[in-house]
Amino acid sequence: MNSPQVNKYTTPNEQGYYGKFGGAYIPEMLVRNVEELLSQYLSIIEEASFQKEYQQLLQDYVGRPTPLFFAERLSKQYRTQVYLKREDLCHTGAHKVNNTVGQILLAQRLGKKRIIAETGAGQHGVATATVCALKGIECIVYMGSKDIERQAPNVARMKMLGAKVIPATSGSKTLKDATNEAIRDWINNPNDTHYIIGSVVGPHPYPDMVARFQSVISKEIRQQLMLKTGSELPSHVIACVGGGSNAAGAFYHFLEEESVQLVAVEAAGHGVDSGMSAATTQLGRDGILHGSRSLLMQTEDGQVIEPHSISAGLDYPGIGPLHAHLYDSGRGTFLYATDAEALEASFEVAKLEGIIPALETGHAFAALKKLSLTEKDIVVICLSGRGDKDLATYMKVMEHAD
């Protein structure tokens, strides 16, 4: 834990720690898999041939760069300048594919023949199934049996893309259990399988690797903002956080720019103190989940608590170690939005900008009401995903309103 860090926030130390969070708390059965990845991920990612193929796919397949859109009516509403980073326009409808494209190319170079993934809402599962179809590699997605019921369209998408969806029936039958099952699969298949984790969680080097693949978001924001405003730096970057992959990507190239306020919005569910929440920094303590030390929602006895959020993508009892460090160090501003606030924000964005955001992203928009913004502020919101997958939930809200 003693190696010097070039960057205070961006890069973990050699053991994978951001401050006191991170590391690799894994049973011996996983050590070889993780060490194989650890010893090769940086050199593979830095290869010219990898970068060439990755950039080409981001451009021609994912549809990057995604636009940075000045949201005029939203800006007027909040008397500030709001820019939307349109990750919802990525192929498959969310930022998740930035990571899966990178990891599938990595898996190929590691000689892996089989891909496993976990998914909550199904967005990461779809993004993984997509790149596996693209590369003709076998794909198995673990998904909590409860989530399979509530996210039927994404289950159908994964199947149509040729993936096998295996229900996780252990524990609480949601994302954390799907992750447990995927890790078990990896233990049972140590040689031919690569595990594509969908967020900046898991044992080192996953949080760093996924953050690097998502960092294209903030790289583009800087370039686009320069063209639009004459400065690369906004005053605020806002993103929702479950595990925290879109936030990690949107924050990445601003982490060392301390003038930029990084705003992470967690899901408070029915309310932070309702017992039905997923606001990890509010409710969590230092703990270990899925191989890394971070903030964790847990009982007094250290058993993991099942979170709640209306958005399956934020329904996670932990948070990536990078974000735990941003919270702990004060570098990040952590807010939370309830189910109701996120819904309200989603409907507002739909009406004011003609964009239906994912419920996850609705949480990020809800921060506009909570921050004291001025007309001089330049606020970038990471519009992490589109709302098609959430139509059933939105329809219920409209039925109630009628």
Partner 1 sequence: MSRITDLFERKELRVLNVYCTAGYPQLESTLPVMSALQTAGADLIELGMPYSDPLADGPVIQASGLTALKNGMTISILFEQLKDFRKDVSVPVVLMGYLNPLLQYGFEKFCAQAAQLGIDGLIIPDIPMFEFESEYRSVLDKHGLDFIFLVTPETSEERILKLDSLSSGFLYAVSSSSLTGSDKDFTPVESYLQRLASMRLKNPVLVGFGVKDKATFDMACEHANGAIIGSAYIKALDGAASIEKTTEDFVNTILK
Residue with tokens 């460090």: 325
Q: Catalytic one among 85, 96, 146, 173?
A: 96
Residue with tokens 């993934």: 117
287 interacts with partner 1 by CB under 8 A: yes
15 interacts with partner 1 by CB under 8 A: yes
User: Do 186 and 152 contact (CB within 8 A), yes or no?
Assistant: no
Phi-psi region of 28 (alpha: psi -120 to 50; beta: other; left: phi over 0): alpha
Q: Which one of 145-153, 174-182, 222-230, 334-342 is the stretch in contact with partner 1 (CB under 8 A)?
A: 174-182
Q: Which of residues 201-240 bind partner 1 (CB under 8 A)?
A: none
The residue among 221, 278, 293 whose CA lies nearest residue 251 is 221
Tell me the site size for partner 1, rule CB under 8 A. Answer: 36
Helix, strand, coil fractions of the chain, as percent rounded to 5:
50, 20, 35
The span from the CA of 113 to the CA of 111, in Å, is: 7
Minimum gap (Å) between residue 303 Cβ and partner 1 = 4
The span from the CA of 98 to the CA of 58, in Å, is: 7
180 interacts with partner 1 by CB under 8 A: yes
Helices (H), 193-237: 206-214, 216-229
The span from the CA of 157 to the CA of 163, in Å, is: 9
28 interacts with partner 1 by CB under 8 A: yes
150, 184, 228, 270: residue in contact with partner 1 (rule CB under 8 A): 184
45, 187, 272, 352: residue in contact with partner 1 (rule CB under 8 A): 187
The span from the CA of 360 to the CA of 265, in Å, is: 10
Active site residue 384: yes
372 interacts with partner 1 by CB under 8 A: no
76, 79, 285, 396: residue in contact with partner 1 (rule CB under 8 A): 285
Minimum gap (Å) between residue 28 Cβ and partner 1 = 4
Q: Which of residues 29-88 bind partner 1 (CB under 8 A)?
A: 29-32
24 interacts with partner 1 by CB under 8 A: yes
Minimum gap (Å) between residue 274 Cβ and partner 1 = 21
110 interacts with partner 1 by CB under 8 A: no
192 interacts with partner 1 by CB under 8 A: no
Termini Cα distance of the chain: 58
Q: Which one of 241-249, 260-268, 287-295, 362-370 is the stretch in contact with partner 1 (CB under 8 A)?
A: 287-295
89 interacts with partner 1 by CB under 8 A: no
Strands (DSSP E) along 86-131, which ranges? 114-119
Active site residue 164: no
Strand partners, 119: 143
User: Do 311 and 121 contact (CB within 8 A), yes or no?
Assistant: yes
Instruction: Considering only CA atoms, give the Rg of the chain.
Output: 19
Q: Catalytic one among 87, 118, 266, 353?
A: 118
User: Do 213 and 102 contact (CB within 8 A), yes or no?
Assistant: yes
40, 108, 145, 170: residue in contact with partner 1 (rule CB under 8 A): 170
Minimum gap (Å) between residue 118 Cβ and partner 1 = 13
- Which residues of this chain interact with partner 1, rule CB under 8 A? 1, 15, 23-32, 170-171, 176-177, 180, 183-184, 187-188, 190, 285-291, 296, 298, 300-304
Give the active site residues.
96, 118, 384
